[in-house]
Amino acid sequence: MRVPVPLRRAYKLINHGPTTLITSAFGDRRNVMTAAWVMGIDFDPAKVVAVIAADTFTRTLVTASGEFVVNVPTVRMIDAVYAAGQVTGEDEDKFATHGLATEPASIVGAPLLSGCAAWLECRVVPEAHMQEQYDLFVADVVAAWADDASFVDGVWRFPTDEDRTLHHLSSGVFVTSGDIVKAKR
Question: DSSP string spanning 103-143?
Answer: E--SSSSSPEETT-SEEEEEEE---HHHHHHH-EEEEEEEE
Q: Does 68 bind a copy of itself (CB under 8 A)?
A: no
Q: Which of 22, 49, 72, 141 binds a copy of itself (CB under 8 A)?
A: 49
Buried b (16+ CB within 10 A) or exposed e, 27-40: eeebbbbbbbebeb
Q: Nearer to a copy of itself by C-beta: 56 or 105?
A: 56
Binding of residue 15 to a copy of itself (CB under 8 A) = yes
Indicate which single residue of 47, 63, 123, 148 sits in contact with a copy of itself (rule: CB under 8 A): 47
Closest CA to 141 of 118, 113, 120, 157: 120
Cβ proximity to a copy of itself: between 95 and 137 the closer is: 137
Per rule CB under 8 A, is residue 177 in the interface with a copy of itself?
Answer: yes
Shortest gap between Cβ of 111 and a copy of itself (angstroms)? 22
CB of 122 to a copy of itself, least distance (A): 15
Q: Verify binding: residue 181, a copy of itself, rule CB under 8 A.
A: yes
Query: What is the C-alpha separation between 58 and 176, in angstroms, rounded?
Result: 26
Kindly identify the residues of this chain, within the stretch 133-172, that bind a copy of itself according to CB under 8 A.
134-136, 138, 154-156, 158, 161, 164, 166-170, 172
Phi, psi for 29 (deg, rounded to 5):
-110, 150
- Dihedral of the alpha carbons of 91, 95, 97, 99, in degrees to the nearest 10: 180
Per CB under 8 A, the list member of 41, 54, 101, 107 interacting with a copy of itself is: 41
114 and 145 in contact (C-beta within 8 Å)?
no
- Answer positive or negative: Cα dihedral of 42, 63, 86, 96: positive
Minimum CB distance to a copy of itself, residue 114 (Å): 19
Residues of this chain that interact with a copy of itself (CB under 8 A) are 12, 15-19, 36-42, 47, 49, 51, 75, 78-79, 81-83, 129-130, 134-136, 138, 154-156, 158, 161, 164, 166-170, 172-185
